Structure 1
Amino acid sequence: MKRGKIRLSGPAPIFRVSKPGVDVDTAAPNEFVAHEDFLFSQPYAFGYVQCPFIGFTGEAYRDESVTVTVPNPGVTPVIHLFPVDHNNQISFPTHFSEGGGNDQSGYAVTTYVVDGTTSGSNLTIRFRKSFNGLRSPNGCYYMLSRNANVGGAPGPGGSGRPRMRINKNGIKIARQGYDVDTAAEQDLYFSSSGIAARVFATGLVGVSNAGHERYNQARVNFSKTFSRPPLVFAAGLRSDGGADVTPVRYRVIGNNIARIHPHYCLKIDTTGFDIMVVKDYGPGDFYVDVPTTWRYWVLDNTLDG
């Protein structure tokens, strides 16, 4: 059995690596680790930004930004943000919080918005804490991915230009018809200058009606303890076969308790994550056909480099 095949010359160059235990010549599309015609939307920058008002417990509205220097790929990237709560847990895609208090002195809840924009080599992350919320975020992890060109016909070069290059600087693979030595970032299928966002674990988890009046919940434990909370994605599997990633959030105040409720929330720590999914309130309510089975992906901290 062979797992790799590389051919750089000729009209149809090949660069293929299959999963462990799978022959590269018979591998199905989902069994390749690398393939010359598969686009990899590689992250090219990863880091952590501390909130400028970390630890602030006043009720006042805060709106402050932090700008950091990142590589400039020449095109607007895809920005992924993973906010970190006051307790150092990642809350994704947005936070869940409940706490007591009153309108005069505020409520012991985390309620904030984090967003990001890029301009050239600058990434600006904006932190906003709402009025009456007494807890502030600690910060935010960011991950920037190349906004690659996936549409249209092959490039102007036809098959006469080299699509791949392997040298002391690593590996580059360009789109069909593009010269690998002159192709822009958005026309690269793979580049060693990007980061390998390695998948540590994936699976299915079912949420159940236990422990909370308004939420179904479940806990997933990692097979190892991370040095810091890893990045986790999740998507609910709807009954019609679609996927649900709705990040809707609403705020309810009653009986001196403020509740910040998202449609779903991943609360990620170093040993695992809790998933909370709002319950289906039935026909006529906003939340209908709420998934009880969710697929998740855990990224290893190879991004920390």
Structure 2
Amino acid sequence: MNRVFLLLVLVAAAGAAGFGAYLKLRSLAQLNRQLYRLDQLLIADNDDADQRAQWAIRGLEAAVQKNYNQPKEVALLAAAQRLDGHADSLARTLRGLGEELKHNACRPNTAIPTAAQLASTDAAAQLLSPDGPAYVNLHQQLNKYRLAAQALNPNKKAALPEPAFAELPLGAALASLSQLESEVRTTELNTLQHLSKKVGATTLRRHLAAFSTAASSTVAPGSIYQAELFLGSVLDLRFTPAQMRCNGRPVPVDSNHVGQVRFMAPRRLGPAVWTGTIRFKANGRDTTFQVRVPYRVVRR
């Protein structure tokens, strides 16, 4: 009786273990299918990110041209285009590895990998072993891309983890490749956004100020002084470095960035004129404004 009972217990335990193993295998199969679907979703997202990167490059090109192709901005645009080329090359490498993984694992080739094929670790182990040429090439490309992005945006560390494919089933390996491509595109978009802030014409800010113009620069004792008083808009030179000169000589500028004109009047009596010059960059080009101010030298 005891032997029969013990045998029944062993059979029940074996059955429970088998059922547990079945549940585990079923869960793994579901996970691999979910990873494969994730891979397909990431591929679509990466295509969209690639398109957005192209739009960003075109936006940079337009901004540089609008700003009259300033040398520094042309250099930044060239660097952005090189980074985009690195990103495209990496994306092609990652997509190619994914296709080769599916080709090696899905024999005979099927449109959608089977559960057994998705669970297989052989393809990833053979193609993406740490010492294999495919992995070494991917590692070198990632390092080159990481350094290029870091040089253009030093304050933003490129989130490009080192890939690890050891013992990964096909579904997980495909999803890992697509996720890495997503990180590549995210790094590119972040860098392009950073560069866009350095390209383009500086917006010239303005503020209101009171002005007056006198009917005459001289007035006799007891006579009527006439002038016009008005409100005008002027450039705020606090945000636009400018050079001011009077008769060719530098003019001191106060804390409000207003030039203070002072000079020794000529000794000869009669009409005279002084010339004021303000030079600054507008839309990337050197711009000069000049004003001639007549006055009269009289005896006191």
Bin for the TM-score computed over the shorter chain: under 0.3
Q: Which has the larger radius of gyration?
A: 2
TM-score (norm 2): 0.22
Q: Which structure has the highest helix share of the two?
A: 2
Q: Which structure has the highest strand share of the two?
A: 1
